[in-house]
Structures are given as structure tokens and as C-alpha cells.
């Protein structure tokens, strides 16, 4: 069962949590620039009485020591904003910095985790173990989680839980599926080199524009004909830079793209296929190819027992009707690095409410959240940690 004292504590600090979120929203900071945000979180932890250490260059790892011996469960929230211009003209707490905005809900994640921390700290005497609090920078560029792990965020941790505000799910619904949740998100750069020349004499040239165009068209067969229809994969070329002038045949072409899938083995097969397609396409035309494949996030795969525990907590805390099975998304989430070698799971907290204008897509300039769901997010953080530490056989 859930802890009633935790529920009461979370609700008691609801207004303060929302005010903290609005302050962060008005002062967004980009990845690795979260200096003020880190300071605000540290100040709040000092007031609550929770010990912590600062990570470099930004971020915080804190620890709640339970009154009884036991395992350690980690709760993670990300803190960074995006280089997005806020488009709202009526929001009282809109971004005060042009070109920067909390357009993905990380301000809410941080505030919810602080509320959960306060509730757990007030009830620490009954905790059978410890709760690690991870306030992570630089999620939006998929660097923060790896750096936090490198700086010891999950040392001695037995289980990790995180969540994300989700505008495509209705307010009042929460999802935490067993298995695939988020896809891996890798970066792709392909450089083709041909032989430039005058547009009136193509026979003397190797046209990089033709090579690049052929590659983009051929590339789709990797998903359509080399990937099982029972698997999911996305290969996208989002940018192509080729040519210099209307009557000059291009010598060079540079393409940028992304690769998404839900399985590490599929990921490696896609990478090998992309390299093969690039070199063979270039070879057909007498050009050369160089492929730069950068691993981004791992896929987020919710461990079965952890996800089932989260589902049980959701039912007990909020009711059976709240639990919702959200389809996996091909978006990326660097929470994956926290659960690379440790069991854990990642939930989605619905906040889509058309009447409140909170159904805009993530990363849009009109993005906002239904603040009424924040109390559920804070309680889910705290109740998951409480329940996990009560399990003798987990």
C-alpha cells in the first residue's frame, strides 16, 4: 500500500511546488548552463535538510538517509531548457530570456522531485533504505546522464525511477509500460566527394548532388526492406548541404540525419547498412563517401519488475482508471544511461488538456503544462521510492 503520510506531505506543499516551477520557467537555462537552477535546487535542499554534492559543471546528487537499513533507490529529474522562443503573450511566468524556454517540462520535473524529496525527508524514519536524488543537467543534448553516471550518480544504487511530463497523453493519465519506452537516438553525418566543374560540361565531373540524392532515396530501403516489419526503426536525413552556384556542378555534399530504434542489435545492423549504402552509392558514380555515426541515447527499456511495481503504485495512489498504456515513442531520452546496468523504469505523466492550452507538442514555443498534474508526479516519485524500499524480495 502507499504511504498516507507521504500523500499528505506532497499535497501540503503543492502551491510551493508550482511556484518553484514557475520561477524556473521564467529563468530557463540551456544545457551545461544551469547555474541558477542548480543554486535554486541547492537552496531548497538546504531548507529541507537534505545533504547533497554539486556535480560539474552543473547538477546535484543528493541523498535521503532512511531510518532503517536497506537498499538505495534513485529518483531522477532533468533541469535544462531549450533554445526555443516562447510564443505565449499571456503567461505571467513566461521566459524572461529571448530565445530560451522550458519547452519540454524539465522545470516541472525538477519541482516535482523537490516536493517528493520534502515528503520523503519528513518520513525518513520509516524508510527502509536510502533515496538518491539526481538533478541532471543537459538532457536535451544527450550528455547529462552519462556525465552524472561518470560522477557517481548511480554508485551503490539498486534501482532507478524517472518520469516525463507528456502532452500527448490526457491529464490524469499515467503510463509505465513493461519493455520499450523511448528509442535510441543517434546522429548521422555523411560526406560525399565528387569532382566539380562547369554545369555545361557534366561529362568532366562527378556530381555530388546526384550522389547524395541517390543515397537519400536508396536509404529508405534499409527500413522498408532490411528491417523486419515486426521491429521499429527510423532513418531520417534532415539536412543536405550541396553545391555553391547555379552553374557549378557540386564537388561536395554533406548530409545530416538521425537513426532511431528500440533494440541494440537492430541499432548496430542499421549502422552497418548505412555505411554500406553510402560507400556503394558513391562507388556507382565514381565518388567517395565518409560516414560519421555518433551514438546518442540508448533505448529506454523498462525492466519488467520495476515497471510492474510502478503500475501497482499508480493504481493504489490514483486509481485503476489512471493507468494508461502509452505506445512507445521514437523520441530519445538519456535516462537510458541510468538503467544501462541497473534495473529501473520510466513513466509518462499525462498533462494534455486542450481547455488549458497544454496540448501543444514538446519543443513548441506554445508548450505549457497542466500544473494540476504536478502533485501526482511528485507523489509518484515519492511513493515509488517508498514502495521499492519496502520490498523484501525485489
Cα distance between the two ends of the chain: 16
104 annotated as ligand-binding: yes
What residues contact 154, with CB distance under 8 A and at least 6 apart? 74, 132, 160, 338, 342
On whether 106 is known to bind a ligand per the annotation, the reply is yes
DSSP 67: S
The torsion of the CA quartet 197, 203, 206, 208, rounded to 10 degrees, works out to 70
| Nearest partner of 376 among 320, 311, 312, 318, judged by Cα | 318
**Has 102 been labeled as part of a binding site?**
no
Residue 268 counted as an annotated binding residue? no
Q: In degrees rounded to 5, what are phi and psi of residue 380?
A: -65, -45
Q: What angle do CA 257, 259, 262 make, to 5 degrees?
A: 165
Q: What is the C-alpha separation between 42 and 75, in angstroms, rounded?
A: 16
Residue 289's DSSP bridge partners are 192
> 3-state DSSP call for residue 68?
strand
Is 33 labeled as ligand-binding?
Answer: no
Binding residue ranges for Mn(2+): 104, 106, 140, 164, 363
Q: Which residues are annotated as a binding site?
A: 104, 106, 140, 164, 363
Amino acid at each position: 500500500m502507499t504511504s498516507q503520510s507521504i500523500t499528505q506531505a506532497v499535497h501540503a506543499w503543492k502551491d510551493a511546488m508550482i511556484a518553484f516551477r514557475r520561477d524556473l520557467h521564467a529563468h530557463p537555462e540551456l544545457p551545461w548552463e544551469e547555474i541558477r537552477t542548480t543554486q535554486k535546487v541547492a537552496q531548497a535542499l538546504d531548507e529541507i535538510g537534505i545533504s547533497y554534492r554539486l556535480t560539474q559543471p552543473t547538477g546535484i546528487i543528493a541523498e535521503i538517509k532512511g531510518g532503517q537499513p536497506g537498499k538505495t533507490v534513485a529518483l531522477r529529474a532533468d533541469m535544462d531548457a531549450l533554445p526555443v522562443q516562447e510564443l505565449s503573450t499571456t503567461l505571467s511566468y513566461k521566459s524572461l530570456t529571448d530565445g530560451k524556454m522550458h519547452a519540454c517540462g524539465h522545470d516541472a520535473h525538477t519541482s516535482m522531485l523537490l516536493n517528493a524529496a520534502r515528503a520523503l525527508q519528513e518520513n525518513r524514519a520509516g524508510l527502509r533504505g536510502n533515496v538518491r536524488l539526481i538533478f541532471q543537467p543537459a538532457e536535451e543534448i544527450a550528455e547529462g546522464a552519462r556525465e552524472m553516471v561518470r560522477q557517481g550518480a548511480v554508485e551503490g544504487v539498486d534501482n532507478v525511477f524517472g518520469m516525463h511530463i507528456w502532452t500527448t497523453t490526457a491529464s490524469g493519465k499515467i503510463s509505465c509500460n513493461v519493455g520499450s519506452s523511448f528509442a535510441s537516438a543517434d546522429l548521422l553525418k555523411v560526406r560525399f566527394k565528387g569532382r566539380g566543374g562547369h554545369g555545361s560540361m557534366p561529362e568532366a565531373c562527378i556530381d555530388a548532388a546526384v550522389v547524395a540524392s541517390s543515397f537519400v532515396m536508396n536509404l529508405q530501403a534499409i527500413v522498408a526492406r532490411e528491417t523486419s516489419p515486426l521491429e521499429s526503426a527510423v532513418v531520417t536525413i534532415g539536412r543536405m548541404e550541396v553545391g555553391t552556384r547555379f552553374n557549378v556542378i557540386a564537388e561536395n555534399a554533406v548530409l545530416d540525419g538521425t537513426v532511431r530504434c528500440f533494440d541494440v542489435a537492430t541499432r548496430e545492423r542499421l549502422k552497418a547498412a548505412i555505411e554500406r549504402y553510402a560507400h556503394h552509392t558513391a562507388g556507382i558514380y565514381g565518388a567517395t563517401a565518409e560516414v560519421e555515426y555518433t551514438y546518442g541515447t540508448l533505448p529506454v527499456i523498462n525492466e519488467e519488475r520495476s515497471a510492474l511495481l510502478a503500475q501497482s503504485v499508480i493504481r493504489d495512489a490514483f486509481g485503476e482508471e489512471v493507468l494508461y498504456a502509452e505506445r512507445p515513442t521514437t523520441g530519445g531520452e538519456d535516462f537510458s544511461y541510468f538503467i544501462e546496468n541497473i534495473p529501473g523504469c520510466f513513466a509518462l505523466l499525462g498533462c494534455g488538456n486542450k481547455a488549458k492550452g497544454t496540448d501543444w507538442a514538446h519543443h513548441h514555443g506554445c508548450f505549457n503544462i497542466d500544473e494540476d498534474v504536478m502533485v501526482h508526479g511528485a507523489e509518484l516519485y515519492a511513493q515509488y521510492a517508498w514502495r521499492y524500499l519496502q520490498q523484501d524480495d525485489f
